[in-house]
Structure 1
Amino acid sequence: MSVLTVVARIEAKQDRVELVRSELLKLIEPTRKEQGCLQYDLHQDNERPELFVFYEGWESKVLLQTHLASGHIEAYLKAVEGAVASFVISEMTKIG
């Protein structure tokens, strides 16, 4: 089985770090229960606390898209509206 690796980079605005952190943490439990979720780990940069990275593993792009359309992602987006400076999702394939 080929795993779709996803790296999601979220940068909070300087004055909203705790809000974004709190809301990101709420995503972990429901996402790990989703069909096709193999890995969903949140990291926070040691030198730049406003920078967060999710390292994810998904069974397929279709199941990732289902995740991105889920109610908990929708709730997260509403909760952090205006608090995120940048958000980038990279879909990757392991090559070595």
Structure 2
Amino acid sequence: MSQELIIVARIEAKSEQIGLVKGELLKLLVPTRKEEGCLQYDLHQDNENPAVFLFYERWESRELWQVHMNSAHLAEYLKATEDAVALFAVNEMSKV
């Protein structure tokens, strides 16, 4: 049995692209939450720096998260924000 996977993804938009990035991130919520293995998929925006977004995600397994990472809606997001993101960092984590 696979261990539950926690994902913390930090996205920092370029200052002039905050609205675009936020809009595209919001589009990911509904389709991702419907994906097999998605237990939680929450988007947050920093109160002090509105260019910083954070996803907190819980997946049944790393394998099912990988299916998400190859999804059409994620590919569309990446294409739409190609020149709008200054930083993208993903941490795969396990609860201790």
TM over 0.5: yes
Q: Counterpart of 1:81 in 2: which secondary structure?
A: coil
Counterpart for residue 46 of structure 2: 45
State whether structure 2 residue 7 is matched by structure 1 residue 31: no
Supply the AA of the counterpart residue of 1:78. K
Q: Equivalent residue for 2:69?
A: 68
Aligned residues with identical type, % of pairs: 60
Mark the runs of 5 or more structure 2 residues left unpaired by the alignment.
none
SS of residue paired to 2:91: strand
Give the Cα–Cα distance (whole angstroms) in 2 for the partners of residues 62 and 3 of structure 1: 10
The answer to whether residue 84 in structure 2 is matched with residue 87 in structure 1 is no
**Separation in structure 1 between the aligned mates of residue 66 and residue 3 of structure 2, nearest angstrom:** 17
Q: What secondary structure sits across from 2:12 in the alignment?
A: strand
**Which digits, 9 at most, give the CA deviation of each residue in 1:31-57, with x for residues without a partner?**
000000000000000000000000000
Q: TM-score, normalised by structure 2?
A: 0.97
Aligned residues: 95
Residue 16 (structure 1) aligns with: 17
Deviation >6 Å, runs of 4+:
none
Partner of 1:6: 7
- Residue pair 2:14, 2:85 contacting (<8 A) in 1 also: yes
Partner of 2:60: 59
